[in-house]
Amino acid sequence: MGWTCRTLSKINYFRKCRKLIVDNSDPIEKLISMLGKLPGLGPRSARRATLFLLTKKDLILRPLYMAIKNVLENVSLCETCGNACTDQVCKICLDPKRDKNLICVVEDVSDLWAIERTRSFKGVFHVLGGTLSAIESIGPEEINIIELQRRVLAENGEKELILALNATLEGQTTSHYIADLFMDTNIKVTSLAKGVPIGGELDYLDEGTISAALTARKDF
Ligand code: ZN
């Protein structure tokens, strides 16, 4: 028995609907797809966020669009340290009160922001923009390690490099690589202390953290 016209038109209708759902040329679907690429947002939350934006067009969507446009047109990376800024050189690098001989090396701008939030660091930064990774074929040329070497060796003064990279395998590999790079120089290389977090209970810590805390113990 053949297909009736009615059945065929039904099939075409569903095909059209399906095409519309996955059609990236549809502006709403495109927005969902782009929001879904943000960290922490899956397809479901991207859909919810899109619907929220559509219902708050003037209150949220338009100001968000303007904010993104502004960032896109005006924000770039500081040519000295790699921080996100609106000028060639960021405010931290330009600040005369900052100790230019104390350079904190971080993986990403988010790490720089985290340290800045403490308001306790008075030096400057160097953002690597990633870590070395054999699996992902990321070598020293892919991140700002060569720039760090050039920067540190070009400037005068007794410098200290504080390695504030994440306590991951890649972070630690990168730290060792940088430490080796400056081994035969008069640059002092230090790293963040590792151990018991403030408010932390020993019973809840992993063996690696307790072991690092024991090794990095200091006079009471
Ligand atoms: Zn800077």
Domain borders along the chain are 2-74, 84-219
Distances in Å between the Cα of 203 and the Cα atoms of 188, 196, 206, 207 are 35, 11, 8, 10
CA distances from 44 to 20, 23, 52 (A): 17, 17, 13
Q: Which residues pair with 104 in a beta bridge?
A: 125, 162
Q: Which amino acid is at 136?
A: E
For domain 84-219, give the CATH number.
Answer: 3.40.1360.10
Alpha carbon of 89 to ligand 1 centroid (Å): 5
Helix (H, G, I), strand (E, B) or coil at 125: strand
Compute, in angstroms, the gap from residue 100 CA to the centroid of ligand 1. Answer: 11
Mean per-residue pLDDT of the chain:
86
Report d(CA 18, CA 23) in Å as an integer. 8
Give me the pLDDT at residue 1, please. Answer: 43
pLDDT tens track for 1-16: 444 555 556 556 555 5
- Say how many Å lie between the CA of residue 126 and the centre of ligand 1: 8
Rounded to two decimals, the pTM is 0.75
Residue 166 pLDDT greater than 70, yes or no: yes
Q: Are 140 and 128 in contact (CB under 8 A)?
A: no
